[in-house]
Structure 1
Amino acid sequence: MMKSSSFLLIALVALLKNIEGERNTLTLKVIVGYKVAPVIATFSARSRLACAAGCVQNQACDVYDYKDKSNSNNCNIAALNVDTYFEQDSDSICYVPVGAVISLRNEQHGLWGRWSAYQYCDEGSFVYGLRAWTDEYGGPGLAQDDCGMTGLELYCKDLAGTVTTPIKFNLGFSDAVVRPQDTCQGGTFALGFRMKWLGDQGDEDDVAMTTFRLHCQTGTAQSYGDLQGTWYSAAMCPPESLICGFRVLYQLLTVDDVTCFNEVVMACCFP
């Protein structure tokens, strides 16, 4: 019964958008257990259809999430652009255009830096492994000004197993340590990730993101794991999607107490 209701809602939303006549996002995909941010507006909706109608009425809205367990501010509407990301939320159901790329963010958000552009695998290809670069540890104290991660390369292949062009973002530090590569077990693909992050050190040396791990259809892949920090919970792509790209929040050597990589956001695509 719930599945039928979901399909009915999609049809009704498509009809509303068609009547509106100004947008062509007619087919939506239901993603259970995810919410979207940042939002254009948050409001109370008595039904999913009322939430959808709020999206239709706002010309900037492409995507929305709805919580049926709450009667207060239970509808969020958002635009779908490079700054839009999704986080897991067991109470929410998200509706996105079919074919959309889902930007997946970990619970730990970076504190400093600028965002890189997205790097994507070739069309029809998905991530299956990685290699990382880290700063050479110089010792405690700000005089050494250490970083954590300074580079990340993700390996891509298509569903038939043919290896395609890897994607990489590297700050190019001359003293960086190249860590061993690792790949998903059994020829599988990555569908989630996890970050190790050292919190704000106050007057001491900040390093931010220190380690990165892929969660695969079978097992995990990790380039290294001996640096300090706290592992945060894994962020997983929506069902039926796989990691297909990433972007980085980073600092360059133009500030005091540089931290290099602050955060990585993954892109999830539907095969």
Structure 2
Amino acid sequence: MQQFGLIVSHVFLLSLTPWVGGQSRHSYELRVRYSTDWGDWGHADMCPEGFYASGFSIKVERKQGNGDDTALNGVRLYCVNSNNRGGPHTTVESSVGRWGEWTPVKWCSSGYLASFMLRVEPSQGSGDDTSVNNIKFICSGSGAQLEGDGMEWGSWGTWSNKCPKSAICGLKTRVEAPQGDGDDTALNDVEFFCCK
């Protein structure tokens, strides 16, 4: 396993690329570099056109005692229609690890998810690695913070930049495949897309 480095968070300008079954008008990618780099990036999954992420849930494996801990295994976004917040919602998720259970949904009371932060445990050498343990979001408008029901190992990094005049509308996750008799970490990193 490789060591990881800490880098200041950034917002990246992306080309306007059409997405099959999702939004074609995303223009920014939110990243934080307080993460680990084991595993592979999954597919990008986008909210439908006109929908934005107003809630989230995470898949978490609880403490395994003497077993192999993986902590955070997945992130699911709950997308609502900007013209009818009380109407039906849809969910999007990228790659997800095999362990744990989905937590209850946390919702922005107003606005949408606009910035995030990760809680990460660095490489433990010969110890049990868990990588990403939890996630927080800031809601646009109210500025309320929503913290996931993840694990407590590691420390919080820095906030990503906020979606500029937009909101989170999709994601892509980096997940390490099961290692057999090796040390499993599951989710290692996540990127979010912003739509106007």
TM range (shorter): 0.7 to 0.9
Count how many residue pairs are aligned between Structure 1 and Structure 2: 175
Deviations 1:133-162 (A, max 9, x none): 11131125xxx2210211221111121213
1:87-98 aligned at under 5 Å gives the runs none
What's the CA shift for 1:181? Answer: 1.6
Secondary structure of 1:166's counterpart equals strand
Task: Tell me the TM-score normalized by structure 2.
Answer: 0.80
Alignment counterpart, residue 147 of structure 2, candidates 222, 226, 243? 222
What's the CA shift for 1:167? Answer: 0.9
- Rg (Cα) greater in structure: 1
What's the CA shift for 1:226? Answer: 4.6
Partner in structure 2 of residue 204 of structure 1 = 127
Q: Would you identify which runs of 4 or more consecutive aligned residues in structure 1 move more than 3 Å?
A: 79-82
Matched to 1:267, the amino acid is F
Conservation of the 8 A alpha-carbon contact between 1:189 and 1:242: yes
Secondary structure of 2:190's counterpart equals strand
Which structure has the highest helix share of the two? Answer: 1
Conservation of the 8 A alpha-carbon contact between 1:197 and 1:210: yes
What's the CA shift for 1:267? Answer: 0.6
Unaligned 5+ residue runs, structure 1?
Answer: 1-33, 37-62, 64-78, 83-98
Partner in structure 2 of residue 155 of structure 1 = 78
Unaligned 5+ residue runs, structure 2?
Answer: 1-9, 18-24
**Superposition RMSD on alpha carbons, in Å?**
2.3
Deviations 1:29-76 (A, max 9, x none): xxxxx664xxxxxxxxxxxxxxxxxxxxxxxxxx6xxxxxxxxxxxxx
For 1:172 and 1:262, how far apart are their aligned partners in 2?
14
Matched to 2:188, the amino acid is N
Distance 1:226 1:145, change over 3 A: closer
Conservation of the 8 A alpha-carbon contact between 2:11 and 2:29: no
Matched to 2:61, the amino acid is D
Partner in structure 2 of residue 24 of structure 1 = none
Partner in structure 2 of residue 231 of structure 1 = 156
Alignment counterpart, residue 92 of structure 2, candidates 144, 154, 167? 167
Q: Which has the higher contact order (CA 8 A, sep 6+)?
A: 2
Conservation of the 8 A alpha-carbon contact between 1:147 and 1:208: yes
Identity, % of aligned positions: 22
Partner in structure 2 of residue 179 of structure 1 = 103
For 2:11 and 2:153, how far apart are their aligned partners in 1?
30
For 2:195 and 2:45, how far apart are their aligned partners in 1?
13
What's the CA shift for 1:125? Answer: 0.7
Task: Tell me the TM-score normalized by structure 1.
Answer: 0.59
Conservation of the 8 A alpha-carbon contact between 1:180 and 1:223: no
